[in-house]
Chain A
């Protein structure tokens, strides 16, 4: 048996390998993106609260929020928000498929992961085309 090391317990504990050790894979990318988009939507609720409170206020506050969201920066943020929301929804669907025990084969799981990004991009583009047509 090895002699006990004099260093504190924290330093002797084996560490599990972290991100930089692994070869980048589609499932890993999709997993990280799902967590990242979840956190982004967490912060994004502040945007929704801002808009709803502006609308629940008077005409002045509504126009202020409308002008902000109509500016190029506001539109860029909304475009990002749309993609992030769509990607997270795609992630939810992907997890539902995996929870059902389907789509775990090497090809299927990679296709589901990359498909989430493609699906989110297509849905975002569609929604923005619709929004430009009806505005």
Chain B
């Protein structure tokens, strides 16, 4: 490599993590969760279609069955992660205020954790009660 004038140290270049200190991790995790969500969304649609016209008892039995519950857990878990990561990019793009930006980023993560935990709790409750 030719010698270029740069402020970046050789170690920083080798680590390849850039200004965000995390390299392409975020972008990679978005791809990974996207690929996981493609089949999981198909499963979710099939589950919702199977729910049409069911009464309370039959909907409970269906949602509580192992295969349905496992796919729902994966869908809501990976989905909550994916949407939190995605919203983070939107915040980073549009919210620039010195105080409001970290607050918005934190609120996003907390909402993701809250909705993720709530959805997982509801799915497990359908299986175990």
Contact = CB atoms under 8 A, between A and B. Distances in A.
Given A45-B119, A49-B118, A53-B122, 4 more contacts: A39-B87, A41-B83, A45-B79, A49-B122
Interface of B: 31, 34-35, 37-38, 41, 45, 49, 52-53, 56, 59-60, 63, 76, 79-80, 83, 86-87, 90, 115, 118-119, 122-123, 125-126, 129
A124 B125 CA distance: 30
Q: Name the 5 nearest CB pairs between A and B, nearest first.
A: A52-B122, A56-B125, A62-B56, A59-B56, A135-B53
B38 A89 contact: yes
A92 B31 CA distance: 9
A39 B34 contact: no
Interface residues of A, number: 28
Contacts of B79: 45
B86 A38 contact: yes
Chain A interface mostly helix, strand, loop or mixed? helix
Given A45-B115, A134-B49, A35 B122 contact: no
A35 B49 contact: no
A56 B52 CA distance: 17
A129 B9 CA distance: 60
A133 to B, nearest CB: 10
Given A35-B90, A48-B76, A89-B38, A56 B83 contact: no
